Structure 1
Amino acid sequence: MKDNVLYIWDAEGAPQQPIGRLVLWRSYGEDSCPEAISIPQWIEENADSLRARYLAWVYELGQVKVQGRRLVDFLDIRPGFSYWWMAPIAEKCNFSKSPHITDAVRLMALGDWAAGTSFSEIVLVSENRSLSKCLASWASHKGCKFRWKKIPPKRTQHSLSKNIFKWLPNPVQGILSLTRYLFQRWPLKGAGLSEWLGAKGEMTFISYLFNLDPVGLAEGRYKSSYWAHLPDKLSEDGQAVNWLHLYVIDKNLPSARFAGAAIRSFNGKSENGQVHATLDSFLGLGVVLHVILDWLRLCLKWPGVRGLLSSTPLGECDVSPLFEQEWRASFLGTTAVLSTLYHNMIEAAINSLPVRQRCGVYLQENQGWESSLLQIWGVTGNASLIGVPHSTVRYWDLRYFFDPRSYSRKLTNELPMPYRVACNGDAAIGAYKRGGYPVHELVKVEALRYLYLAEAKPRSVQTHGFMTSGLRVLVMGDYLHSNTHLQMRLLEKAFPLLPIGTRIIVKPHPNCPINPEDYPELSMELVEGSLGELLAECDVAYSSATTSAAVDAYCMLKPVVSVLDPYGLNLSPLRGCAGAFFASTPDELASKLVSATKLPVHSSIRNEFFSLDPQLPRWKTLLCN
């Protein structure tokens, strides 16, 4: 009878006494359970089918009829623009905003594995209440009993105010979030506005006020790693450019007051008509009033869409419990308020440009605000808008992929798309093509963030010995704290297994500092500086599960070991690349950090990943045309 029980283990470590068929929900395998089914491993082996089916589900959800209209039409908040494209469920940010997408994909994988198999009982060991509801529904569909063995949740250190906020009604959360945003960003109101209103440039760049060069910032010059020396080239050619920045808090600009001072400094020292403003520069009572009106429109639409997810299963499973909170907040709470705020600020910024724009360029990550930009740009009569994926396009970063039917654009309120997608090399173009993107709308340009690789001296292809000086491991931190913490905890456990004399050199992400006191068993050196210079001095690089810095090391012919995150999908940019190493246990990590340095190094693949001509001929051609 035990063999007829499905035992799903959604907890750390291995089960002590599993009964029946054991399924590991968030583990790539346990030595103590060699016959267990690993759902993460099953996903990797059936990735193309699972990804395509999830994207198809999102597309078909947008086509569901609500009060006689397609959902995508029902949610229009402006003529020709639907709020659907700003909603998190359509954005599909599975690694950050919507991590529950991982469980949705795992439920599909479980259904595939169990197809045609009957069980007397399904047992779930987990702290995840939403997952238990989904599996209870699936068990009912399969005609078997369901039992949830709830385990104590992990303790998370949230402040009292955050805990109180979480339990407030969604509309109250929305009001508080809007108030907080206005309080924090109001000092940017009007920064660069007079220059913007007098701008003569016919080209606009929309970018993040982040990743700024500290030296340039101190001198009052705009220099960002997103754009390398492209702004200087445009200025030298006499191109007047308007820069619309989305401010992101970091150590260089820790508050809106500092950001406002930077904008004023940029404008004071700009040449050849370069103009700088931020999205928050357009804050005002009129914008706030429009936000409230748009939010009320969404609240009125809520009764029509409230039960939509539960009536649209993903395969055999009702996944609505996974998305319930997100879906509600998309209409009633914080997500709705901040999305409409971005929409109205973008509308104010683009509408106030005094000159019709012949070209626009924006950093493309397929976030919700980009859909607003694409719609507003066209409605105001401006010409070509070009999207620029500034880093790598990762297989499981679902933001970059859509069901192929989305690209037909034969009806109203269809997927907003740029005139062209400027890809930074063959790897990005290949990823878009394999995802079904229209080939004629892809164009190759130089990889601005990676131009330093053209001059960087790669590691010798000879086997590198480290025994005389000790193994040097460069740790490249992640943007997200959760990913960085997982990476550092795994390394801390693996550290005693590494050779004596191993040096752990840690470069945190600018937006995610690392405190050595959080990892007392790990001897480390915190460093800053150029990633290229640090890579040149290390033997092996160790990356988080998602960071694109892994590609920097890979292109410099350094062996790279990346975390295989059991909590999420494989978001590594090196997924599928020859010579890339992955580890999910301390033993595996220690072994691969050592063995990776002893294996023959893969041949140079820089040009396969990126276009690296520092003269930027492709960029010049694109922008001139």
Structure 2
Amino acid sequence: MTTSVIVWDRESDPPTDMKEILSWQSYVQRSNVSSIPLYLENHAERLKKKYLAFIHDLGESKIGGKRVIDHFSEKDGFSFWWMTLLAEKSPLKSPGIYDCLRIMALEEILLERKPSGVILKSFNRELGQIIHVLCKNLAINFTWQPGDRPQKEWSLRKLYRALPYPVQGLVWFVVHLVTRWPLRNLEAPAWFSGEGDIFLCSYFIHLDPVSCAKGHFYSRQWEKLPKYIHDSGRRTNWIQHFMPNPVVPNVQTGLEWLRSFNLDSEKQGKHSFLDTYLTWKVVVRVLKNWFWLNALSWRLRKIQSAFYPKGSAVWLWPILRGDWWASVNGATAINNCLWMELFDAALGDMPRQKTGFYLHEKQGWESALIRAWRKHGHGEIIGVLHFPEAFWLLSHFDDPRSVQSKQWCSMPLPDRIAVIGPVAWKAFTDGGYRSEQLVEVEALRYLNLLKENEEPAPGSANRQTLKHSVSASAKGSVLILGDISPKLTHNFLGLVENAMKLLPSNYKFTFKPHPGNAISLAKYPGLQVDEIEDALHRILADFEVVLTTCNTSSALDAYLGGLTVIIYSDGRSFNLSPLRRHSDVHFISTPEELAEVLQKGDQNTAVDSEYNEFFFLDPELPRWKKLLQRNSN
């Protein structure tokens, strides 16, 4: 047994004069400091499987002689459980998942080192509670030293989060109705009803602004596929998720664009927003279901005891209770009820569709779509991956028992998942999916990586060199890519701002915001950058270096384009980059590290064989054509 260890959860670096420090939020390691995030990375496979098993077991746990999944069930065999934040497991929506994995890593460290005591230096009440319970269960002395909690400025968002969860839910619903009610003004399209017509569900973001402003629908999430469908004599019906973004900043712009597309529906497809199906009847049904979930939360009030992973002394309830309450009586709960009713109305209004596609991200709305699709007797529904798999994007992974279950209220799954590359295929088969549940398709968003004048013959694209030739004027030019997370983007830009003070003046920085997260650069007066919103593939050749966060897959575009890639990952959240284990990609966490990497000038050393890991690429779309032709028979 060793002496006491200190768990250091502070923004500042741990002191050098203390013994046995376990850093909670940093990858830094030295003689007296061990990193919990680094331990998690080094034992990622085992701990990831352990968390996925915990979520499966939580749904299967019984309260009052009935499975939790069954408590959430509808008469048709659908369970709201699969729409909860707990079952969704998105690190972007549920940042506490990272704390859960770190706590599980800490448990293993304590079992190995067997300290006499643990001293926690942290302001985090939930962390203090959870480590206290862990130490009690392991018979280890525990001391919590919270120190003086820093004063935080109040904001409307923080005030909202301080409200009781049911009040949050009602506030969210009222705001959503007020902002989206004008979308009801869109004329309901007379949906195409031909045998070969195709349904698609998509996000109204990542649009080409020049084309769309002229009435020509072009989505960078689907690229050339809609044109191929039209050229093959088939028509498309589109349900769009409206999301304000820099390209479509308001409802009025969205309505104008959809009306212009529908004027040429034979070529552009028929389009409607999901929120166009808002009615007072829908509102009443949403509230009815939400009240039912509120009552259910009372019947499941003893669920806290189920928040122990099997064979573990860790109690995860203090971290995950916010996700639980949001999912049963908060904003997530009422949002899920709304999705259920909107998809029911939309797909009930639509004539039978033989084939449907949607963007597969394992978000809650997808379960509502699948349920309504089958309820109204439509044909095959296929989820389409549109970005590469990331190891820690847990929403894309499930315990194999959940995937393979045939029980009542089993997890809603599409008939097949369209997989865009070998890495994703292996991830799904390793996760319990059968090969017949998957189908290969070209990665539509990444076809632009192929050289314009060296497009391979059909079927041979995976052997093609994908690197762009970087222009001579790009020397010293750095492209900064924004993130969809406001908090991560703020920390990231602050780091770049501080790094600029350490760099010579010959670097030229340009910032491209994420389409779903508008940023005011005025908040960063020391950040001397230009701003650009052009499509990424059109501007990459103008830069030598791409700097981004660990949350976005855009780094992969730059990597395959031959640029030097630097990724910000500081240990405070999951490394969600698809380039996580690539040795020629630079991961930095401090301004000093960023300045050092930039001045060192290391080059991207990717070889052609690595490209085969990520994507199926062929400009002729043979895999897509095969899939569509099979579904037309």
Equivalent residue letter for 2:212: L
Q: Quote the Cα distance in structure 2 between the aligned partners of 1:599 and 1:84.
A: 44
Matched, 1:364 2:360: yes
Kindly tell me the number of residue pairs found equivalent between the two proteins: 617
Alignment partner of 2:569 out of 544, 564, 568: 564
Q: Which residue of 2 aligns with 1:552?
A: 557
Q: Is contact 2:198-2:353 (8 Å) kept?
A: yes
Q: Which residue of 1 aligns with 2:106?
A: 110
What's the secondary structure of 2:145's corresponding residue? strand
Q: Quote the Cα distance in structure 1 between the aligned partners of 2:262 and 2:468.
A: 47
Q: Which residue of 2 aligns with 1:297?
A: 292
Q: Which residue of 2 aligns with 1:349?
A: 346
Q: Which residue of 2 aligns with 1:439?
A: 435
What's the secondary structure of 2:313's corresponding residue? coil
Q: Quote the Cα distance in structure 2 between the aligned partners of 1:347 and 1:524.
A: 47
Superimposed CA distance per residue, residues 288-319 of structure 1 (whole angstroms, 9 cap, x where no aligned partner): 11111111211121122223133431321111
Q: Which residue of 2 aligns with 1:619?
A: 624
TM-fit CA distance, 1:526 = 1.7
Q: Quote the Cα distance in structure 2 between the aligned partners of 1:469 and 1:86.
A: 46
Q: Measured at CA, do residues 528 and 168 of structure 1 come closer, stay the same or move farther in structure 2, by a change above 3 Å?
A: closer
Unaligned runs of 5+ in 2: 454-464
Q: Quote the Cα distance in structure 2 between the aligned partners of 1:71 and 1:232.
A: 45
- Once the two structures are superposed, the pairs formed by residues 45-56 of structure 1 within 5 Å of their partners are 45-56=42-53
Q: Quote the Cα distance in structure 1 between the aligned partners of 2:265 and 2:195.
A: 13
What's the secondary structure of 2:119's corresponding residue? strand
Q: Measured at CA, do residues 295 and 212 of structure 1 come closer, stay the same or move farther in structure 2, by a change above 3 Å?
A: same
Matched, 1:331 2:328: yes
Alignment partner of 1:402 out of 398, 403, 419: 398
Larger deviation: 470-479 or 358-367? Answer: 470-479
Superimposed CA distance per residue, residues 121-161 of structure 1 (whole angstroms, 9 cap, x where no aligned partner): 321111211111101111111223322222455665553x4
Q: Quote the Cα distance in structure 2 between the aligned partners of 1:239 and 1:197.
A: 10
Matched, 1:204 2:199: yes
Q: Measured at CA, do residues 581 and 589 of structure 1 come closer, stay the same or move farther in structure 2, by a change above 3 Å?
A: same
Q: Quote the Cα distance in structure 2 between the aligned partners of 1:469 and 1:341.
A: 48
Q: Which residue of 2 aligns with 1:81?
A: 78
Q: Measured at CA, do residues 173 and 197 of structure 1 come closer, stay the same or move farther in structure 2, by a change above 3 Å?
A: farther
What's the secondary structure of 2:571's corresponding residue? coil
Q: Quote the Cα distance in structure 2 between the aligned partners of 1:153 and 1:271.
A: 61
Equivalent residue letter for 1:449: R
Q: Quote the Cα distance in structure 1 between the aligned partners of 2:100 and 2:65.
A: 28
Q: Measured at CA, do residues 116 and 289 of structure 1 come closer, stay the same or move farther in structure 2, by a change above 3 Å?
A: same
Q: Is contact 2:198-2:237 (8 Å) kept?
A: yes
TM-fit CA distance, 1:351 = 1.3
Alignment partner of 1:187 out of 178, 182, 188: 182
Larger deviation: 585-594 or 181-190? Answer: 585-594
Q: Quote the Cα distance in structure 1 between the aligned partners of 2:512 and 2:440.
A: 31
Q: Quote the Cα distance in structure 2 between the aligned partners of 1:552 and 1:401.
A: 23
Identical counterparts, % of pairs: 35
TM-fit CA distance, 1:172 = 2.1
What's the secondary structure of 1:497's corresponding residue? coil
Q: Measured at CA, do residues 69 and 350 of structure 1 come closer, stay the same or move farther in structure 2, by a change above 3 Å?
A: same
Equivalent residue letter for 2:358: Y
Larger deviation: 183-192 or 332-341? Answer: 183-192
Larger deviation: 51-60 or 496-505? Answer: 496-505
Q: Which residue of 1 aligns with 2:304?
A: 309
Q: Which residue of 2 aligns with 1:121?
A: 117
Q: Is contact 1:357-1:383 (8 Å) kept?
A: yes
Q: Give the RMSD, CA atoms, in angstroms.
A: 2.5
Q: Quote the Cα distance in structure 2 between the aligned partners of 1:203 and 1:487.
A: 41
TM-fit CA distance, 1:78 = 4.1
Q: Measured at CA, do residues 273 and 590 of structure 1 come closer, stay the same or move farther in structure 2, by a change above 3 Å?
A: closer
TM-fit CA distance, 1:568 = 0.7
Q: Which residue of 1 aligns with 2:226?
A: 231
Q: Is contact 2:370-2:412 (8 Å) kept?
A: yes
Q: Is contact 1:456-1:556 (8 Å) kept?
A: no
Q: Quote the Cα distance in structure 2 between the aligned partners of 1:599 and 1:610.
A: 19
Unaligned runs of 5+ in 1: none
Q: Quote the Cα distance in structure 2 between the aligned partners of 1:378 and 1:430.
A: 28
- Once the two structures are superposed, the pairs formed by residues 62-101 of structure 1 within 5 Å of their partners are 62-94=59-91, 96-101=92-97
Q: Quote the Cα distance in structure 1 between the aligned partners of 2:493 and 2:209.
A: 27
Q: Which residue of 1 aligns with 2:508?
A: 503
TM-score by length of 1: 0.93
Q: Which residue of 2 aligns with 1:386?
A: 382
Q: Which residue of 2 aligns with 1:488?
A: 493
Q: Is contact 1:461-1:603 (8 Å) kept?
A: no
- Once the two structures are superposed, the pairs formed by residues 264-275 of structure 1 within 5 Å of their partners are 264-271=259-266, 274-275=269-270
Q: Measured at CA, do residues 382 and 342 of structure 1 come closer, stay the same or move farther in structure 2, by a change above 3 Å?
A: same
Superimposed CA distance per residue, residues 373-417 of structure 1 (whole angstroms, 9 cap, x where no aligned partner): 112212222221100111111000000000011122221111111
Q: Which residue of 1 aligns with 2:458?
A: none
Equivalent residue letter for 1:266: F
Q: Quote the Cα distance in structure 1 between the aligned partners of 2:212 and 2:237.
A: 18
Larger deviation: 510-519 or 416-425? Answer: 510-519
Q: Quote the Cα distance in structure 1 between the aligned partners of 2:544 and 2:234.
A: 44
Matched, 1:527 2:523: no
Q: Quote the Cα distance in structure 2 between the aligned partners of 1:227 and 1:598.
A: 32
Q: Is contact 1:471-1:499 (8 Å) kept?
A: no
TM-score by length of 2: 0.92
Superimposed CA distance per residue, residues 192-219 of structure 1 (whole angstroms, 9 cap, x where no aligned partner): 4242497886421011111111112211
Q: Quote the Cα distance in structure 2 between the aligned partners of 1:544 and 1:189.
A: 37
What's the secondary structure of 1:195's corresponding residue? coil
Q: Measured at CA, do residues 156 and 210 of structure 1 come closer, stay the same or move farther in structure 2, by a change above 3 Å?
A: farther
Equivalent residue letter for 2:333: A
Q: Quote the Cα distance in structure 1 between the aligned partners of 2:229 and 2:539.
A: 31
Q: Which residue of 2 aligns with 1:582?
A: 587
Larger deviation: 239-248 or 579-588? Answer: 579-588
Q: Quote the Cα distance in structure 2 between the aligned partners of 1:305 and 1:408.
A: 26
Q: Is contact 1:139-1:146 (8 Å) kept?
A: yes
What's the secondary structure of 1:369's corresponding residue? helix
Q: Is contact 2:387-2:553 (8 Å) kept?
A: yes
Equivalent residue letter for 2:188: L
Q: Measured at CA, do residues 174 and 480 of structure 1 come closer, stay the same or move farther in structure 2, by a change above 3 Å?
A: same
Q: Which residue of 2 aligns with 1:8?
A: 7
Q: Is contact 1:363-1:387 (8 Å) kept?
A: yes
- Once the two structures are superposed, the pairs formed by residues 406-485 of structure 1 within 5 Å of their partners are 406-455=402-451, 471-485=476-490
Q: Quote the Cα distance in structure 1 between the aligned partners of 2:218 and 2:531.
A: 25
Q: Quote the Cα distance in structure 2 between the aligned partners of 1:332 and 1:461.
A: 50
Q: Measured at CA, do residues 600 and 424 of structure 1 come closer, stay the same or move farther in structure 2, by a change above 3 Å?
A: closer
Q: Measured at CA, do residues 274 and 403 of structure 1 come closer, stay the same or move farther in structure 2, by a change above 3 Å?
A: same
Matched, 1:261 2:240: no
Alignment partner of 2:34 out of 34, 37, 40: 37
Q: Is contact 2:441-2:616 (8 Å) kept?
A: yes
Q: Is contact 1:201-1:242 (8 Å) kept?
A: no
TM-fit CA distance, 1:545 = 1.2
Q: Quote the Cα distance in structure 1 between the aligned partners of 2:231 and 2:148.
A: 62
TM-fit CA distance, 1:333 = 1.6
Q: Quote the Cα distance in structure 2 between the aligned partners of 1:288 and 1:227.
A: 32
Q: Measured at CA, do residues 79 and 88 of structure 1 come closer, stay the same or move farther in structure 2, by a change above 3 Å?
A: same
Q: Quote the Cα distance in structure 2 between the aligned partners of 1:278 and 1:249.
A: 13
Q: Quote the Cα distance in structure 1 between the aligned partners of 2:616 and 2:104.
A: 37
